[in-house]
Structure 1
Amino acid sequence: MRAATVVAVVVAVALGMVATPAEAGDNNRVFQPCADAKIQKGDGFTFGIAFSTRESFFFNQTQLSPCDRRLSLASGGNAQLALFRPKVDEISLLTVNTTSYPAVTNGGFMVAFAGRKYAARSLPTFVSNSSYTVTSFTLVLEFQKGTLQNLYWKRDGCASCSGKSDFVCLNKQECAIKTSNCKSANQGGSVDCSIGIQLAFSGTDKHYAVLNSWYEVSNLQQYSLYGLYSNLRDSLTGQYNKIF
């Protein structure tokens, strides 16, 4: 996808600090999501998340990376792109503003991706339709010897929204809010339904050091990062006080 044809709307937060393109100790000079990088702990790592319809991520019934020119994401008019550069092996909370830019969720699905030769990409995961919107996700980046091998979404179940009338449990896997309750240009609700993504790493870096942040996240309950980053609650997640 070309930057001129897709819009990136993103706030990336790592351990309470806004991520910068290159922090101290960051030796990874690859900043394009459609390029290959070999990382070590402490590096920044650039990856993208594309938003569109589920069908747009497939070519001849095979899912391709959003970097693949055979897909029509750049010319389709409905695709949006968010770029992130978290610090390797640190737990991060990523947010995508869907209140000011509701077009991000118009397609209904998102795919996380990075790399060219290895072209790692996640399966498409549901974000929103006219009935329901999912606002909280967990994404794990898996590396082998410093090269990204896989990106996968972890399902946390619906225990966190059990008994809450504003939420429903989709496929017994994830909590979703009724889209009519969302605050955006297309809805009249009062809840900011911007997307929050807990990000973690697993596998090994290029020096064979084990990436441990996924094991830390796996011991946390869904939405727990919103509580941990209390200084961000008002600016990013204060809307959830009405629900939880």
Structure 2
Amino acid sequence: MPDDNAARPSLMLVLHDVAPQTWPDYQPLVEAIDALGGVPMTWLVVPDFHHRNALSRSPAFCHLLERRLAQGDELALHGYYHADDGPPPRSPGEYFMRRLYTHEGEFYSLDQAAALQRLQAGLQLFERQGWPVAGFVAPAWLMSEGTRQALRQLPLRYTSTPQHLYRLPDFTAIEAPGLVWSARSAWRRSLSRLVSDWQCRRWRHASTLRLGLHPVDMRHPSARNYWLDTLQTLLAQGREPLTKSAWLDRQVAP
């Protein structure tokens, strides 16, 4: 029987690039959100952020994530290193995507075997910690065809891009529009605010809306305050906050 709550508009609050290094950036906002009460979050966890933040060497941070799970949050796998350490780009298009657009598209150029190896390593870490995991999100949302084929072989339920969640293993697309900022410079923050405000108006009747936060956002009061204000506005409009897995559970499979 369909869930009666499925028709209620929702929101998903997603923290990207979660690692011991980035927790000091997130901590003030997370505490402010906790003070609101009843807002579950999806934490996109990087097993060894930039090759220098291995979770296996951070037991205190792992305990923090375990407490978040106990509070009703969700942990998802977010790459392994969150760094593009592949061979140099071989074409202008590849150079743009891997050097200008981002340096963190870890899964953009991996073949199936390499992608599968990293995905399995990440899932093994979650298993050793006793953390349930249903989703994988590629850094910068960039996935090679090899990565897509590797995901079809694993016991994961979903992956996502900026505007969709994809039910695995068949990559069934489910519309789930998202807001995201580029906060590295003042002009980017100003533009991000304009674009996000326009998207909020455009998607005001969307059944769900994702808020995709990044550590760099938290280092600028204008960005951090925007996310908190937007969250409170959406809650006041009656949107129900859900983790990605909880939202996916409410979607009727084709």
Q: TM-score, normalising length from structure 1?
A: 0.27
Higher helix share: 2
Higher RCO structure (Cα 8 Å, ≥6 apart): 2
Higher strand share: 1
Q: TM-score, normalising length from structure 2?
A: 0.26
